[in-house]
Structure 1
Amino acid sequence: MMSNSYSRDELEAAFTTWRTTVSRAASGEGHWRDFVDLFTEDAQYLEQMVGVLKGREAIWAWAEPTLAGFPGSAMSFPPYWHVVDEENGVIVAKLNNLMRDPGDGSQMGSDNISILTYAGEGRFSSEEDVYDPSAFGELIGSWGKRAMELGTLNAAEQEWFENTMPHAVPRIGSV
């Protein structure tokens, strides 16, 4: 077993910073670089659809186009709960990958678990995101189809769906 010298207060403060940094970046009030800077230079990030990203710059190379670009830019990540493992310096959080309102007031999201390993001084040495990629894909498709029906996508978002998920694009004359 690992052992560390981090107090519960330090772990809670690091998680609060992580959570608020993610919220600011997702809202457009912050920057995803701020999120990436919460990791050590040699951090590892396990993202299920991408694999293991090794090092802060590899995390940045994934985060910037994925989270700042569409459809990541249409999401927020509100937490349901988190637990702190003081002995191992690990924080586990359940989050909702929540899409913005498609235009009818509905909320559409898909859950994930994030496992953060703390490295001290406000930084993390690893993050692992655990979710069902097929449920995530279904969420994006369903949300996009609804937003298209309501006419709430901008031209770039519409084009993304036409190029990336053509099966989600409603066709003229379709029911």
Structure 2
Amino acid sequence: MTRAYKSEGGIPARSRAPVTAPIDVPTMTYASRASHPASASAASVPAWNECPTGPPAPRTSPTRRASFTKLCIRTPGTLDRRAMSHPRAEIEETLGRYVAMREQIDAGNGTWTDLLQFFTDDVVYIDPAWGRIEGIDAVRTFMVDSMAGLDDWKFPIEFMAIEGDDVVVKWTEVIPKPDGTAATQSGYSRLIYAGEGKFSYEEDLLNMVHVLDDIANSGWRPTGPMNVPPKHPNRDVSISAP
């Protein structure tokens, strides 16, 4: 077929030569699409880590020409989530006791070392100021040293979420001011459940720049001697000990 172009300014319209062959347009390819028709269930669609692997096709190959558009996809039913290796009811029961102990500590009826019962001996703890702490004994020392002079700080919990063995706890840091008000900052903790009522990992997230601003501007004074975090803390946040 011939396509005519509109004449402009008295210049005759031009004609384009007829298209006699299909245009080789790269197409978007999905992992194993041919073997997984639209009617197949989501469970049959390969996960991200099942994408084709191996050396690239030759440069002259049609596959190579279209490779820049090749995608591998995951459907909502096949997301690569952490497998739930422990019953949810067991995690909920442990989390309930953990939260209850946190509430007792905030009420002045306990200390932070009371939480050690919820951690494995080889626990990895990540603090935003003190960095990485490994092992239950080191975490005990950290809890004593890091909370010295902060007896009037509170850390109320807002909500929790569970996904497999992962637990997220949303909490607020509350620093009292002399005028009766408080400076607050938002914090999150990720814990990994290891079974038998214990967690093997905790990572606390808190904006320390904002915390230091609150300490400087709120008029708050420590309740006793404080300890300074290490100048160069270990910032490794990996789950397993190296």
TM-score, normalization: structure 1?
Answer: 0.74
**Pair 1:74 & 2:152 matched:** yes
Counterpart among 85, 96, 99 of residue 172 in structure 2: 96
Displaced runs of 4 or more, over 6 A: none
Distance 1:12 1:140 in 2: 35
Q: Please say if residues 106 and 156 of structure 2, whose CA atoms lie closer than 8 Å, have aligned partners that are also in contact.
A: no
C-alpha displacement at 1:47, in angstroms? Answer: 0.6
Identity score, percent: 24
SS in 2 for 1:62: helix
Number of equivalent positions = 148
Task: Find the counterpart in structure 2 of residue 108 from structure 1.
Answer: 183
3-state SS of 1:117 partner:
strand
Q: 1:89-142 CA deviation, whole Å, 9 max, x = no partner? A: 011121101123x34331321111100101111110000001111011112222
Moved more, 122-131 or 16-25: 16-25
1:120 aligned residue:
195
SS of alignment partner, residue 41 of structure 1? strand
Counterpart residue type for residue 92 of structure 1: V
Q: Quote the Cα distance in structure 2 between the aligned partners of 1:140 and 1:20.
A: 28
1:37–1:56 CA contact under 8 A, matched in 2: no
Give a deviation string over 1:148-168, Cα, whole Å, max 9, x none.
Answer: 6xxxx76x47xx6xx98xxxx
**Helix, strand or coil at the partner of 1:80:** strand
**C-alpha distance in 1 between matches for 2:153 and 2:137:** 23
TM-score normalised to the size of structure 2?
Answer: 0.55
Q: Which has the larger radius of gyration?
A: 2
Paired letter, 1:44: V
- Compare relative contact order (CA 8 Å, sep 6+) and give the higher one, 1 or 2: 1
Task: Say which of 110, 115, 130 aligns to 1:50.
Answer: 130
SS at match of 1:24: helix
2:84 maps to what in 1?
Answer: 4
Q: Aligned AA for 2:207?
A: D
Other-structure match for 1:138: 213
Kindly provide the amino acid, as one letter, of the partner of residue 89 in structure 2: D
Instruction: Give the strand-richer structure, 1 or 2.
Output: 1
